[in-house]
Homo-oligomer: A and B are copies of this chain.
Amino acid sequence: MRFGVCYYPEQWPQERWPTDAAMMAEAGLELVRVAEFAWSSYEPGRGRFEFGWLDQALDVLAAHDLGIVMCTPTATPPVWLVRERPEVLSVGPDGRRRAYGSRRHTCVTAPAYREEAARVVDVLLDRYADHPAIVGWQVDNEPGNHDSARCWCDACQAAFGTWLEDRFDTVDALNEAWGTAFWSMTYPDFAAVRLPVPTVTSHNPSLLLAHRQFASRQTLDFLRNQFQQIESRVTADVMLTTNFYGEDTAVDQRAASRLGGHAAVDSYPHGPRDPMITAYHLDLTHWAPGGDGGAWVMEQQPGPINWTPDNPPVPDGQVRVWTWQVALHGFDALLYFRWRPARGGQEMYHSGLLRHDGTPRAALAEVGDTIRELRGSGRVPPPAPSVALLQSYDDAWAIEVNPHRRGLTHRDLQLGAYVAARRLGLDVAIVDPEDDLTPYDWILAPALHVATEKRVAALVNAINRGSRLVIGPRSLVVDRHGKISDRPLPHGLTDLLGARVDEMLSQTEPLTVEPWGTPAGVWTDVLEVAGGEVVATYAGGTSLDGRPAIVRSGNLVYVGCSDAGTWTRFLAGVTDRVPRPDHQEVFERTGGVGARSWRATIDHRTLDVAITLR
């Protein structure tokens, strides 16, 4: 595993660079990401390139054997470009062009911005494609962040129409697929379908869903263009990726890794404030499909940040634990964000490894010690899980646009099963529902909301081959356009299950699940049994008392509720494992020294890390 740091030489005097490079090397860092937001620094006016400083910075870093990750600068175009071609700016739902002045204010669909992006990437490649110190390229920065993927500009409106036409062929097919007979919304032609903007009350969820699907697709196209430009110019050993903020759902992050070959995530545990959620996003990235593997944390929080409402302190030892957590989730590389905090700009209170004055924070020593500790602790065996968790952004978006409970997210549901598995010490592979699922003993599908024939077939095939499938509430309910099935639910699996969903509830009272007394959670399906075995029932003093909550039939289990407590108790029973507290992560691996069993434990509360070999 390699370690590095994000560095912005353009923010500091040239005289300082050698000191910085020496300190980085001294700390054991090997990688430096540069030039992510440097467009205006190397092209201060159209075609007026000033690469001298960047050449010099790369030379200084290379002189200390630091490998460079070069970035394309498309997250932050210069002022002059926006002034010259305002059509590169995205448009908000209010119909107004986004103002210049922050970042991600451009439209990934606008032909003008695609042209400018291609131009600047070509210039960068002309200069740096063959630079010997460059070990990887990062395309853009946090695509979709700040809810920036959706845009309401004329180019997007036109592209949306074309996309719909490609998808549905006839507007009658769209009307049927979206159920527009409801509220008299039958579209006479594709041009009548407008990008959804605020209206008197809510929009058809199918339109909202299509907008999300479209916006993700457009971003992937934008990224693909850059990947292809770079791939055609660099050697095969150069790493290509883009860095997502894990919590964003605007773009299909896993699909993006198919384009670039590597997956990368920016990990700021103070965003979600729950180490299990950090773990989930790490696994989401690590198990990203396609490509040639090898996930990176491209930005790792090294201390207090500036962009949450409160921004609390980071205790001594925390950066070490965060680093270990990344390592144990199987990552190839980790870069801390950032070397030294900028003196000005939007993130001036976001800490780095140094202070503003250039002296080291305690975190720098902690990082150095942790790198040495990790290198000294032997190889971390990679995860090779027998448990799969199904994941797809189609489910996430379908739930986002119609959650039946304000604020409920797809991730909330995913975490019910993920946390259960992690508390039982099980490594989890996160895989696509249409993938081959037969390699896994257990397939967990807590939020498999969308039913497609291909999904159902993959699930049935896995069950038939001996995998055990556990599906959660509202499984296989809507089609890929968000329309509810007209067949008994779960769509396609009721016969196998020997049960069907009676009611799909959004639970507000604190129901429990018997025989365990565990909480039921928000989404709560009540089942009607016809042959299946009732494993657990609801309790709590309502008319649902005694109604089936969990039904099993052979290798297929339907867990009607979403709370992690119930998932944990159920899975503990069937796997015969004992759950740990939710502030502990256990990693049980084989393949350690001498093929003995290998176990690591992180306690996120006490900040202890322990490795035991048996």
List the interface of chain A (C-beta within 8 A of B): 8, 10-11, 37-41, 44-45, 73, 76-80, 83, 90, 94-96, 98-105, 146-148, 177-188, 192, 194, 196-207, 303-304, 306, 309-313, 315-317, 341-349, 351, 356-359, 361-362, 402, 404-406, 481-489, 502-509, 524, 542-544
Contact = CB atoms under 8 A, between A and B. Distances in A.
A90 to B, nearest CB: 8
A316 B543 contact: yes
A302 B8 CA distance: 58
A98 B199 contact: yes
Contacts of A507: 312-313
A79 B202 contact: no
A11 B543 contact: no
A80 to B, nearest CB: 5
A204 B487 CA distance: 54
Contacts of A345: 178-183, 185, 204-206
Contact of A179 (B182, B315, B342, B359): B342
A304 B503 contact: yes
Contacts of A148: 200
Contact of A344 (B104, B201, B484, B502): B484
A353 to B, nearest CB: 13
Contacts of A147: 200
Contact of A105 (B146, B177, B199): B199
Nearest to A501: B355
B101 A199 contact: yes
Given A8-B181, A204-B345, A313-B542, 13 more contacts: A38-B184, A78-B184, A90-B200, A99-B194, A102-B200, A104-B201, A105-B200, A306-B404, A313-B509, A316-B543, A348-B483, A357-B486, A362-B502
B96 A95 contact: yes
A38 B261 CA distance: 50
A341 B351 CA distance: 53
A146 B201 contact: yes
Nearest to A407: B309
Contacts of A83: 192
Given A95-B96, A182-B344, A311-B404, A200 B103 contact: yes
Contact of A40 (B184, B200, B346): B184
B182 A342 contact: yes
B204 A402 contact: no
A207 B102 CA distance: 11
A178 to B, nearest CB: 6
A102 B183 contact: yes
21 contacts: A11-B179, A38-B184, A40-B180, A76-B184, A94-B96, A101-B207, A103-B201, A148-B200, A202-B346, A205-B346, A205-B348, A309-B405, A315-B542, A316-B543, A349-B506, A351-B503, A356-B484, A357-B485, A357-B488, A359-B488, A361-B503
Contact of A11 (B182, B206, B544): B182
B203 A102 contact: yes
Nearest to A191: B83
Given A312-B507, A542-B315, A343 B484 contact: yes
Contact of A312 (B45, B94, B347, B505): B505
A99 B197 contact: yes
A198 B105 CA distance: 11
A182 B346 contact: yes
A349 B403 CA distance: 9
Nearest to A317: B543
A433 B91 CA distance: 45
A186 B41 contact: yes
Contacts of A524: 313
Contacts of A79: 185-188, 192
A134 B102 CA distance: 53
A359 B101 CA distance: 56
Nearest to A204: B345
Contacts of A78: 184-186
Residue of A315, A346, A503 with highest tally of chain B CB at under 10 A: A346
A61 B478 CA distance: 30
A388 to B, nearest CB: 29
B102 A349 contact: no
A313 B103 contact: no
A180 to B, nearest CB: 7
A100 B313 contact: no
Residue of A146, A312, A313, A349 with highest tally of chain B CB at under 10 A: A313
A484 B99 CA distance: 26
B183 A37 contact: yes
A251 to B, nearest CB: 15
Given A98-B199, A179-B342, A503 B188 contact: no
Nearest to A196: B101
A453 B204 CA distance: 50
A349 B402 contact: yes
A356 B490 CA distance: 12
Contact of A508 (B183, B202, B312, B486): B312
A351 B484 CA distance: 12
Nearest to A187: B79
